[in-house]
Amino acid sequence: AGTQRARAGARTSLHVPYGDGDREKLDIYFPRDPSGTFPVLVYIHGGYWQCLSKDESGFAAPPLVSQGVAVVAVGYDTAPKGHMDAMVLQVRRSLAFLVERYSGIRGVYLCGHSAGAHLAAMVLSTDWTEYGVVPDIKGRAVLVSGVYDLEPILHTYVNDALNMSREVAQRNSPMLCVTPAAPAAAACEVLVAVAQHDSPEFRRQSQEYGQALRAAGWSVSLLDLAGVDHFDIIEKLSEERYVLTQVGEELPSCLRA
């Protein structure tokens, strides 16, 4: 319902292909006056890398679009069709496509939930020289109830569809891929959010990943959000008075820094 309202209330470009894959598509919600330059929030959905899609991701758009921020929901090939290396590559390529295609983008802000937070964290570790373009991310990310170390899920049901080896899990674990922060990364903080009722493993990984980023020179805030669980923490993004939306309301001035 949130996505339907967003599509009805904004100028949209739906199913924009950034590659040839079935799910290599973007839904773009433009601000009401997209003339000139505008910041963009790129939202990467969760679903344990094997369910959900960009089509359920429009709920985050209305409060940001109304402030002059474009919102992009990223599609990627989920398992079992997609494997972990491919998903990480797809999300990175989607960012490169965005900044090449839309010259009006003046800053990129990342947001991901659960598996999407994992993929957003992998974007932060990208060596953009391989892509011929450098998205203006500068460490601006809201990572919500993410997974930052894939090894603990190797022997769980989650890996039944993913079929990851230990090597695949290691090279795609943000905890093991933290890169030193560029000087510009201090301009805005990486917000690592975790729900009060997230599992102990989610809470541990969020805390340890935040600490690892901070040790590498990133500017990090850890948000421990009371009264929510792993799923409704992201649903609250659509509620204008909620703390994550308040973070979003600071986005335009932050991106102009």
| % of the chain with per-residue pLDDT over 90 | 60
Choosing from 114, 145, 173, 206, the catalytic residue is: 114
pLDDT band per the 50, 70, 90 thresholds, residue 256: very low
Q: Is 114 a catalytic residue?
A: yes
Range in 30-44, 65-79, 98-112, 151-165 the model is least confident about: 30-44
Q: Is 230 a catalytic residue?
A: yes
State the CATH number of the domain containing residue 62. 3.40.50.1820
Stretch 141-152: mean pLDDT, rounded? 96
pLDDT band per the 50, 70, 90 thresholds, residue 60: confident
Choosing from 27, 94, 198, 206, the catalytic residue is: 198
225 Cβ contact list (under 8 Å, min separation 6): 193, 194, 195, 196, 233, 243, 244
Count of domains for the chain: 1
pLDDT band per the 50, 70, 90 thresholds, residue 77: very high
Domain limits at 3? Answer: 1-255
pLDDT (0 to 100) of residue 37: 87
